[in-house]
Chains A and B, each alone.
Chain A
Amino acid sequence: MWMSSENFFIYEVFSQKSVNAPFVQQFSLLAPNKEVALSMARENFLRREPCFNLWVVKRDDIFGLPPEERPFLERLDNKSYRETKGYGDLQSRWRHHREQFEEKQKHAGNGS
């Protein structure tokens, strides 16, 4: 009498707020095919939010890490050479050189 769930698939919904925004996973839904999934995605998750573009992806087609492997995603703490904050001394060094230069200019001026 009721719908048979075995004919339904889980779809993950991704949406993009604006042309410059990344696609963000919204939630999942149950649908018999991708067209219905796409229209349900709008009904279920985008009744108010601004939306620029929309994807649905069958969950079975997503390959991810099992729980026990996720802790390895945690970044090690010694990668400052990859980040701007690893180069925080640059500004004060530039200032030093400017000041040295200005000092030299001043003395040169006095000498003439």
Chain B
Amino acid sequence: MQMRLEHADLTENEKLEAFLARIDRGEKIEADDWMPDDYRNQLIKLISMHGISEIMGALPEKEWVPKAPTLRRKLAIMAKVQDEMGHGQLLLRVAEDLLEPLGKTREDIMNDLFAKRLKFHNVFHMEAPTWADAGVIGWLVDGAAIITQSMSLDTSYAPYARALHRICAEEKFHAQHGESIVLELAEGTDEQRQMLQDAIHRWWPALLMFFGPPENGNITSNQEANMRYKIRTQTNEELRQVFLKKYLPRIFHLGFTVPDDTIYFDEAEDKWVYQQPDWEEFKQIVKGNGPRSAHRLNLRVMSYEETKWVRDAIMSYGRQVG
């Protein structure tokens, strides 16, 4: 306690040591606590990318709202799109509080997105041409997201943990919504089954890429820093293996295949051995050069421009009432 009282008198190095000791004790960090710049920057990068991905993730699904096959499906996918935007709002608030001491705001996050400085998840650069894609996104993309986000529930940054608790509860609904669409198609006609099989093949490389490149024994300095700060606790490959163990059997139970002839489960190593996706392609996709990157970014820009009159109206009302 004595030490904390005199925090302002400590040298930068002593502050860092005290901070790391807090992390080691399993304490949680709040937005107004002292934190090293490196910790702040790692969080800003991670959380703004997560927040923007939620918003960009709503776009491929939004395309399916007018085309959903029944009223119930339409209501459900609308609810999901609304949830994703809500998650974006939560996460952007967490990022904004971290950006505040740097004099930056939500505007900067948006401008970084439009200038392609801020990346969003590879899966949201892809096409969703059929209703089965909407199902696979809910089942497998949200399934993958739940795995990464559940790992982060125990993150050392308290505001992120609180946001994730809300988000994970809703993601479980999303995954079940996707499973429901997928099972309907899997139990349907040959044509429906073929549509689903095609969607699984189309999404397979993107799903493998979702967790990021494998470490192959070389954990990147970014990952290492995140693990030292207890922002995350598992590596890309560990998370991917959790995903494969959970979902590959289910794909096979439905009688479907993945586009990988040599994939097998290594009992001794307790892991799936799979063909690597093209990691060069992954880099290009997240840089904003994926099949639908430009289109989705344009949608985002368009949505801002088309709703400008709403913001103007709100702002003029806001000024009137103070």
* A contact residues vs B (CB 8 Å cutoff): 1-7, 10, 27-30, 32-33, 35-36, 40, 43-45, 47-48, 66-68, 71-72
Contact = CB atoms under 8 A, between A and B. Distances in A.
11 contacts: A1-B304, A2-B304, A5-B107, A27-B162, A33-B318, A36-B318, A44-B89, A45-B166, A67-B32, A68-B4, A71-B4
Interface stretch (B226-234, B250-258, B290-298, B309-317): B309-317
B107 A2 contact: yes
Interface stretch (B51-59, B79-87, B199-207): B79-87
A27 B318 contact: no
A30 B93 contact: yes
A27 B315 contact: no
A44 B311 CA distance: 18
Given A5-B106, A43-B86, A47-B86, A67 B93 contact: no
A29 B89 contact: yes
B200 to A, nearest CB: 30
A2 B311 CA distance: 9
A66 B82 CA distance: 36
Contact of A4 (B83, B107, B111, B166): B107
Interface residues of B, number: 36
Interface of B: 1, 4-5, 7, 30, 32-34, 79, 82-83, 86, 89-90, 92-93, 96-97, 105-107, 110-111, 162-163, 166, 170, 304-305, 311, 314-315, 317-319, 321
Contacts of B7: 68
A44 B106 contact: no
A5 B105 contact: yes
B159 to A, nearest CB: 9
Contacts of A7: 315, 318-319
Given A27-B163, A28-B93, A36-B314, 9 more contacts: A2-B107, A2-B110, A5-B105, A32-B314, A32-B315, A35-B321, A47-B86, A68-B4, A68-B5
Contacts of B97: 28
B31 to A, nearest CB: 10
B105 A66 contact: no
Nearest to B321: A33
Contacts of B90: 27, 44
Contacts of B162: 27
B78 to A, nearest CB: 11
Contacts of A27: 90, 93, 162-163, 166
A47 B4 contact: no
A1 B319 CA distance: 19
B44 to A, nearest CB: 16
B315 A44 contact: no
A67 B318 contact: no
B110 to A, nearest CB: 6
B30 A44 contact: no
A71 to B, nearest CB: 5
B231 to A, nearest CB: 19
B93 A29 contact: yes
Contacts of A45: 86, 166
A12 to B, nearest CB: 10
B96 A67 contact: no
Nearest to A25: B162
Nearest to B32: A67
B57 to A, nearest CB: 17
Given A29-B93, A30-B106, A3 B311 contact: yes
